[in-house]
Homo-oligomer: A and B are copies of this chain.
């Protein structure tokens, strides 16, 4: 399967490297920035282009790993006709690709990717969807070369999955950031709460989260909650968050 990667960001890089490690035939990288496209092409041992018109026309699969906004922009000018095209977005429907090809699908790795850390794809769930059984089978075979967890997920489910991911990953990480900041204010080492962060995550993989909820809100400990709200007086935004989330924990556990 000859693959063209469209995009040069975190996802393009990490996905490209995962395929490359499995000896997939990546033939070209497209990117707006010549430096980024060249870097990734070097990593993957292939050619690159910065011109949409020069995107190879004879690949078996085109993987769009660009921002949601750029999907149609890239495809409008690319000379790809009826080859298999997939996007990699959690929140965009498969239908966006229908005007560009008769063969299309989605290849969505459910993981948080950063430049700073290479991800082991073997444990990353890959959510696939396609416009035909044949294309689904192609994507499934490809996905299984890099991951043990491949799932057929439709567009409605996938956007819900992405919404859940925002809560359990993006919002959670922001709370780690708030925790780090609060510790810094009392000259406390952020390392102190790392075991707590890891144990909390580990427990969420062993139990249903509501079963292991701890803390002042679920215990309805008003004294501690009032103390915490007072301590947050210098951070009105976090005070508001604290009150709202505590109320929601209480509501959730009363239902």
Contact = CB atoms under 8 A, between A and B. Distances in A.
A215 B170 contact: yes
Nearest to A219: B67
A217 to B, nearest CB: 6
Number of copies: 2
A240 interface: yes
A199 B120 CA distance: 10
B195 A182 contact: no
B186 A175 contact: no
Contacts of A245: 171, 174, 241
Given A173-B214, A174-B213, A195-B125, A117 B166 contact: no
Interface residues of A, number: 95
A157 B186 contact: yes
A254 interface: no
Interface in A137-159: 149, 151, 153, 156-157, 159
Given A175-B172, A179-B168, A111 B196 contact: yes
Contact of A173 (B125, B151, B213, B247): B213
Interface of A: 67-69, 91, 110-114, 116-117, 119, 123-125, 149, 151, 153, 156-157, 159-161, 163-180, 182-183, 185-188, 190, 192-219, 221, 223-224, 227-228, 231-232, 237-238, 240-242, 244-245, 247-249, 251-252
